[in-house]
Amino acid sequence: MSNTDSINQAGVPEKLWFGHPRLLALLFSTEMWERFGYYGMRAVLVLYLVQHFVFSDQVANGLYGAFASLVYLTPLIGGFIADQYIGSKRAVKTGAVLMSIGYMMLAFTGGDAAKPYVVIEGHRYDVQMQGRGDDAVQYLIHNSARYRIVGNEDKSITIANAGSFVPAHVSGGNYKFEGERNPLNVMLLFVSLALVIVGNGYFKPNITTILGTLYERTDRRRDAAYTIFYMGINLGSIISQFLVPLIAIAWGYQWGFAFAGIGMCFAWARFQFAGPRLEPYGNPPEDAKNINLLFYAGTLAAVPVVWFLLNNAMITASIAHRVAATGIISFLLSQSILGQVLFAAFFIAIIGLPIWAMFSLKPEDRDRMAVACVLTCFSVVFFTLFEQAGSSLTLYADRNTDLVLLAPLHILAHDISVFGWFTIPAVWAYSMPAGQVQIFNPFFIVAFAPLFTLAWNFLSKHGIEPSAPVKFAFGLILVGLGFLVLVFGAKFHGSDFRVPLIWLVLAYWLHSLGELCLSPVGLSAVSKLSIPKLVGMMFGVWLMASAVAQYVGGIVAQLASTETIGGKVLNAQVSLETYMGVFQTIGVAGLIAGAVAIVLSPILKKGMHGIR
């Protein structure tokens, strides 16, 4: 650690932290704890929706897509409010408080688990679950008698030993499993998620803004600072995605969410009590109007607005014909209000900007803007597939992946007793919670990011570094290959239709390599290709594209939905075949999109006019 002094914005000498302003350490740890909370919550959110609230896969995946899209959309508003009125520092503190409350509220939203039931030919029957995990058995209850429910390969169900008042066989489509939920708990669930969404809108863009103000634009340390900051994000996610699912399994989801909330409280405390070091940074503009009353009123009003959008997404997702809509118009009209607004705004931006550029800009600027819009569209395809991690891939891990890890601890053929206190087995078996598999992505990012940096630098020195469009193509091909690896690996399933974990690990590895090809390049390319007066707008379009990708990802995950009772699938074979059908389709879509990007890359590179 260097002790060399530097001069901060207040003109006061300060010691450095690994050659950087010491405030970077504060921002690093604050962001680490914030991501600890967010990714810990995300690791178990979909499982919580299907297992505790007994939402169908279709509804849970639709809700997750709506939640994630709003997480990416609200920073547009939070960043604007901070830039124009309240300053980044106050926005970060406000966001941290809202997110802390949101996570803690999630810990108290569940109450008693929803009660599953089934509707057959207009008659409702209660359903009772016995056992946990793969040993769980579902029973239909009628007149205090229990009849075991068996799911068949043709998606029908058999009611074992059914009497004359209960059908013995029900074909697919003639039954509907649902859950009886406390409306207050559902309302509190959406309010909690709304607080997280609104808080994220204030927190996420503005802590990055403060980081940027630590350095002059020409300071060569800026890139290294953002790399260190990015490592904080991945460190927080690795820790929380390991611990929160374990806690949720051991003591219940409420404790998992509470643990995520504690991490968010640490982030708030770290920033709130930073002392005078933060005083010169993130302050409101000198000519900013005092909007304190409007700011607090607007923040409070935003929560019910987000609640309404989530509730509307739940209602819309529960309509079965939504995913079967034909034609672009009917498809758009079948979406939730959030989806319709997102699609309309994105299409207007992504089509309107090139048209405006055609008539308003010089040829070089026009071409660059067009390339930026094309790359943004490719990013939607990539993140639609990549963000299946929080929805369909987590449910696939829970239902059709053998999550047992075997780690030989020594070469002896027998167990070892340590002082008679405990025994170390010859082979240690560890069964991962399903939510924990998301840890592979940040682990691979941390492991391979330095290698990618070295590789790009090496290729650049030799004049053969791929252009941005080609890197985008690599990312699309890799994310597509990841899903096709899962399809290939499904051939090696066991008698319980669970696939060895290694195939899911390989898929996450390929997805992570794809992320390293595309994600760091995207924002950089947009900033370089946009004309100066439209850089902010193009960043907004990029964030909107990410929001659209999250929403479309929810739709894709709904296509992978399978019938469940209390979060447990009726038939593991049907579940595996459903996932593989969708994974094969989107895997091929990724390859096609990558091939299109490669074909277009010479044209796009020419349109960049020397920008790399």
Amino acid making up residue 350: I
Binned at pLDDT 50, 70 and 90, residue 524 comes out as confident
C-alpha dihedral, 269 to 272 to 275 to 280, nearest 10°: 140
Binned at pLDDT 50, 70 and 90, residue 84 comes out as confident
Where are the strands (E) in 398-516, listed by range? 401-402, 404-408, 416-418, 422-424, 427-431, 499-500
- Please indicate, yes or no, whether residues 77 and 196 belong to a single structural domain of this protein: yes
What is residue 47's predicted lDDT score, i.e. its pLDDT? Answer: 94
Residue 463, CB-side half-sphere exposure with 13 Å CA sphere: 0
Q: What does the mean pLDDT of the chain come to?
A: 86
- Sign of the dihedral defined by the CA atoms of residues 511, 513, 518, 520, in that order: positive
In a domain, 561, yes or no: no
Percent of the chain whose pLDDT exceeds 90: 49
C-alpha dihedral, 47 to 49 to 53 to 57, nearest 10°: -90
In this prediction, residues 467-488 reach a mean pLDDT of 96
Residues with Cβ < 8 Å from 47, sequence gap 6 or more? 248, 253, 394, 395, 398, 434, 435, 567
d(CA 233, CA 28): 8
- Please indicate, yes or no, whether residues 151 and 248 belong to a single structural domain of this protein: no
Binned at pLDDT 50, 70 and 90, residue 241 comes out as very high
Q: Considering only residues 136 and 551, tell me which one the structure prediction assigns the higher pLDDT.
A: 551
The number of beta carbons lying within 10 Å of the beta carbon of residue 482 is 28
What is residue 3's predicted lDDT score, i.e. its pLDDT? Answer: 46
What is residue 290's predicted lDDT score, i.e. its pLDDT? Answer: 83
What is residue 217's predicted lDDT score, i.e. its pLDDT? Answer: 62
Which of 289, 318, 347 lies at the terminal end of a domain, its last residue?
318
Q: Assess contact for 293 and 86: CB atoms under 8 A.
A: no
Cα Rg, the chain, nearest whole Å: 26
In this prediction, residues 181-188 reach a mean pLDDT of 92
Which of 318, 353, 371 lies at the terminal end of a domain, its last residue?
318
Q: Is the pLDDT of residue 2 over 50?
A: no
The number of beta carbons lying within 10 Å of the beta carbon of residue 364 is 14
In a domain, 446, yes or no: no
Number of domains making up the chain: 2
Q: Assess contact for 114 and 129: CB atoms under 8 A.
A: no
- Please indicate, yes or no, whether residues 99 and 125 belong to a single structural domain of this protein: no
Q: Name the least confident of 256-260, 303-307, 416-420, 536-540.
A: 416-420
In a domain, 447, yes or no: no
d(CA 575, CA 400): 7
- Please indicate, yes or no, whether residues 176 and 196 belong to a single structural domain of this protein: no
First to last CA, the chain: 35
Number of residues that make up the chain: 612
In this prediction, residues 195-204 reach a mean pLDDT of 94
What is residue 385's predicted lDDT score, i.e. its pLDDT? Answer: 96
d(CA 127, CA 566): 9
Q: Assess contact for 431 and 499: CB atoms under 8 A.
A: no
Amino acid making up residue 318: S
- Please indicate, yes or no, whether residues 35 and 71 belong to a single structural domain of this protein: yes
Show the tokens assigned to 10: 């207040």
In a domain, 297, yes or no: yes
What is residue 416's predicted lDDT score, i.e. its pLDDT? Answer: 56
d(CA 536, CA 526): 10
DSSP bridge pairs for 129: 138
Q: Is the pLDDT of residue 607 over 60?
A: yes
Q: Is the pLDDT of residue 5 over 90?
A: no
Residues with Cβ < 8 Å from 234, sequence gap 6 or more? 35, 442, 445, 446
In this prediction, residues 588-595 reach a mean pLDDT of 97
In a domain, 556, yes or no: no
- Please indicate, yes or no, whether residues 190 and 73 belong to a single structural domain of this protein: yes
Three-class SS of 264-313: HHHHHHHHHCCHHHHCCCCCCCCCCCCCHHHHHHHHHHHHHHHHHHHHHH
- Please indicate, yes or no, whether residues 78 and 145 belong to a single structural domain of this protein: no
Sheet strand arrangement including 5-7? 5-7, 13-17, 20-21
- Please indicate, yes or no, whether residues 215 and 107 belong to a single structural domain of this protein: yes
Q: How far is CA 591 from CA 40, 140, 221, 514, 556, in A?
A: 31, 45, 37, 12, 17
Binned at pLDDT 50, 70 and 90, residue 335 comes out as confident
Residues with Cβ < 8 Å from 208, sequence gap 6 or more? 229
In a domain, 99, yes or no: yes
Q: Is the pLDDT of residue 282 over 60?
A: yes
d(CA 463, CA 152): 59
| Residue 65: CATH number of its domain | 1.20.1250.20
Longest dimension (CA), the chain: 87
What is residue 551's predicted lDDT score, i.e. its pLDDT? Answer: 95
Domain that holds residue 148: 115-180
- Please indicate, yes or no, whether residues 108 and 187 belong to a single structural domain of this protein: yes
What is residue 413's predicted lDDT score, i.e. its pLDDT? Answer: 53
What is residue 523's predicted lDDT score, i.e. its pLDDT? Answer: 74
CA 332 from centroid of its chain's CA atoms = 23
Show the tokens assigned to 423: 């025994």
In a domain, 85, yes or no: yes
Q: Is the pLDDT of residue 135 over 80?
A: no
Q: Assess contact for 499 and 492: CB atoms under 8 A.
A: yes
- Please indicate, yes or no, whether residues 259 and 124 belong to a single structural domain of this protein: no
- Please indicate, yes or no, whether residues 125 and 109 belong to a single structural domain of this protein: no
- Please indicate, yes or no, whether residues 108 and 140 belong to a single structural domain of this protein: no
Q: What does pTM read for this prediction? A: 0.90
Q: Assess contact for 52 and 176: CB atoms under 8 A.
A: no
pLDDT tens by residue, 15-37: 666 677 888 888 888 989 999 99
Which of 277, 297, 318 lies at the terminal end of a domain, its last residue?
318
In a domain, 525, yes or no: no
C-beta pairs of 6-14 under 8 Å, 24+ apart in sequence: 8/280, 9/213, 9/280, 9/281, 10/279, 10/280, 14/277
